[in-house]
Chain A
């Protein structure tokens, strides 16, 4: 059989295995890649390739950054940093109409600066913010939507696990990807706040104003923010100045956060064990996703599919932005059915060379793909953040949460459009690093 046909058959079989067997994404990519390689070459070549890839990926120094940043996120998650961030944001914004929702986005933004996962951000802030918003009679449409979408900031604001994986897969600087994510994350947070403001202007019952706090209380609340900002500055500042490699930044972040939270007696031994076990579980999942994608990528490379797709797209007589829109729509739809990280890892070997062939800046293109795929976490049917909020507030109907997300979805799409029109928003900060 023609190699191209074998490649297409491999992709079709992968989708069938993914959707009809419910096999984990990393394993499915690994097994289909293995079988495809076996078909094209031989069993011996396939088993040698799979064994070598697993060993080299697992023992790669570059990937050691993953468990360290995930551990940092879980320690922050289990140590109550989020409560103090929310308290500070609440003291500053709580007295405005929709102020608690704005406070949630503000705290999300700060928490995302030390935690690289959208689910962890949504779960942490939801546990803190949802009961407060309920207490002040916020409409569930606003409260649930805020928590669900605010969590997506965790993927874009550095340190982000998704950006680390894209960096490793596409051989880009993780530092530059981290720096490239800062302004888009701030812009997205600002657009969420504008959305809340507009919604509360249109319907004041959505988010009634909370009680006022004195200026002294506002100032005192800032002590709760210092810790998170210090960790962020240490990690990102160390990376920016070249003091640390990404792996070292993760380890220093873990060490300092652990030290501060244990000394302040905010993290128990049980919390440490829970953080380590959850970090191992998530990191292992990420490692095998990457390994599976590498094995599948080897099979695709033999069939030359990624290069053919890139050449075909580059030869089309249409604007590259039309192709980009197509790619983004594919990512948006794909993100609805698959976990965002899984979908990215699966498709980057095909769509990244395409973006490069079209002449897009790899850093800007990677941030765009991350932003679009992240929307999958807040869209049906497998929007993981939605189910996190449902678990936190079982009395809120799932339909209400889906509806509430639609307002914020518009803000995300506007943000993506702004980034397409003004790539400098992504490229400005990384451009300052030499």
Chain B
């Protein structure tokens, strides 16, 4: 695979590049967000790998010439693994501008109105994901208090709900960082 090929593949994706800020507070905030997203996406990758292995093992073990029985609870574990993999990729995807948007009109605006619109965008998304994260955390606490378990395996599943809540909180943090960057960065930082 040539380096040119790889660069072409990635050409449509704007990479998050560290920006040197004169405002140390924002730079510190950005570093925390970046490290958190990196850790979360590594865990997400592990869960995606686990989904592949679990499903293949399930197929293998149910073949008549092996033990002839599927892995108990594979169905419900797949759902929870998928939830963690996707929730932990939410913030990473946002930092890579991976969530599709219709920006043909916005790109036509001059810098100042675009900055205002982006800030409104950041605030709306931050509040939405913050509220959702709070709600899912509350749901997780209810599951923890009632000791609810899964149907087949009979294991607790509130940790998975907390993972989804954490994923939503992480993307809210990305929007907060973007908002702070556009509000407090100096002209030459942008």
Contact = CB atoms under 8 A, between A and B. Distances in A.
A281 B131 contact: no
A406 interface: no
A52 B55 CA distance: 26
Contacts of A200: none
- For the side of the interface on A, what is the size category? 35 or more
A126 B98 CA distance: 22
A251 B52 contact: yes
Contact of A282 (B53, B98, B101): B98
Given A26-B99, A80-B1, A382-B102, A21 B56 contact: no
Contacts of B41: 277, 280
Interface in B1-57: 1, 5-6, 8-9, 11-13, 41, 44-45, 48-49, 51-53, 55-56
A24 B101 contact: yes
A25 B130 CA distance: 18
Nearest to B87: A58
Contacts of A20: 105-106, 117
Interface string B100-111: 111111110000
B96 interface: yes
A244 B107 CA distance: 46
Interface string A374-385: 000000011010
A187 B86 CA distance: 36
23 contacts: A20-B105, A23-B124, A23-B125, A24-B94, A50-B131, A51-B136, A54-B164, A58-B83, A58-B87, A59-B79, A60-B82, A61-B76, A61-B78, A64-B81, A77-B9, A127-B8, A127-B9, A248-B55, A252-B55, A255-B56, A287-B86, A288-B90, A388-B11
A247 B96 contact: no
Contacts of B12: 119, 384, 387-388, 391
Interface of B: 1, 5-6, 8-9, 11-13, 41, 44-45, 48-49, 51-53, 55-56, 58-59, 75-76, 78-83, 85-87, 89-90, 92-94, 96, 98-107, 117-118, 120-121, 124-125, 128, 131-132, 134-136, 138-139, 160-161, 164, 168
Interface string A266-299: 0010010110110111111101110000000000
Contact of B100 (A123, A254, A280, A285): A285
B57 to A, nearest CB: 10
B51 A31 contact: no
A51 B100 contact: no
B51 A64 contact: yes
A99 interface: no
A380 to B, nearest CB: 10
Given A50-B135, A55-B139, A248-B58, A31 B83 contact: no
A54 B168 contact: yes
Nearest to A67: B48
Q: Please provide the 6 A-B residue pairs with the shortest distance between their CB atoms, ordered closest to farther.
A: A51-B135, A251-B55, A24-B99, A22-B106, A59-B83, A284-B89
A78 interface: yes
Interface of A: 18-27, 30-31, 34, 47-48, 50-52, 54-55, 58-61, 63-64, 67-68, 71, 77-78, 80, 119, 123, 126-127, 244, 247-248, 251-252, 254-255, 268, 271, 273-274, 276-277, 279-285, 287-289, 337-339, 341-342, 381-382, 384, 387-388, 391-392
Given A24-B101, A60-B79, A68-B52, A391 B8 contact: yes
Contacts of B139: 51-52, 55
B105 A19 contact: yes
Nearest to B78: A64
Given A59-B160, A276-B48, A24 B105 contact: no
Contacts of A59: 79-80, 82-83, 160, 164
A30 B102 contact: no
Contact of B86 (A254, A273, A284): A284
A115 to B, nearest CB: 13
A360 to B, nearest CB: 28
Nearest to A251: B55
B101 A22 contact: yes
Contacts of A268: 1
A402 to B, nearest CB: 15
Nearest to B44: A280
A284 B120 contact: no
